């Protein structure tokens, strides 16, 4: 997924445990782990706001976008990666 979650980076900077963050934000450690490990499909703005408040950071400190590299099975035959754009 091209969205990378950097909660662990902020936890290290704040010298805070996952359990403490979960308690202060009001979510379960299991749900925080799902979010932290990038397995979440969505995050509520209220949760994001609470994370930012507790960690004293901006949403961009917790989430960032990285482009996905094209997989070999998605590249059209003929070798041109952008050939599908011209069809």
> Given a cut of 90, is residue 69 above it in pLDDT?
no
CB 8 within 8 A of CB 17: no
- If you search the block for the tokens 């998605």, which residue do you land on? 74
- The predicted pLDDT at position 53 comes to 98
User: How do the domains of the chain map onto residue ranges?
Assistant: 3-60
Q: Which among 87, 27, 24, 84 is positioned nearest to 56, based on CA atoms?
A: 24
Lowest mean pLDDT among 2-6, 28-32, 35-39, 66-70: 66-70
- For domain 3-60, give the fold: 434 Repressor (Amino-terminal Domain) (1.10.260)
Reduce the DSSP state of residue 30 to 3 states and report it: helix
Strand ranges (E), 6-85: 63-65
pLDDT one-digit tens code per residue, 22-51: 999 999 999 999 999 999 999 999 999 999
- The predicted pLDDT at position 54 comes to 98
Q: What is the pTM of this model?
A: 0.76
């Amino acid at each position: 997924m091209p969205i990378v979650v950097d909660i662990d980076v902020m936890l290290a900077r704040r010298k805070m445990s996952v359990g403490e963050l979960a308690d202060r934000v009001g979510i379960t450690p299991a749900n925080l782990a799902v979010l932290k490990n990038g397995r979440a499909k969505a995050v509520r703005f209220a949760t994001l706001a609470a994370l930012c408040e507790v960690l004293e950071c901006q949403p961009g400190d917790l989430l960032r976008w990285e482009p996905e590299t094209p997989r070999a099975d998605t590249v059209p035959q003929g070798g041109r990666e952008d050939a599908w754009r011209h069809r």
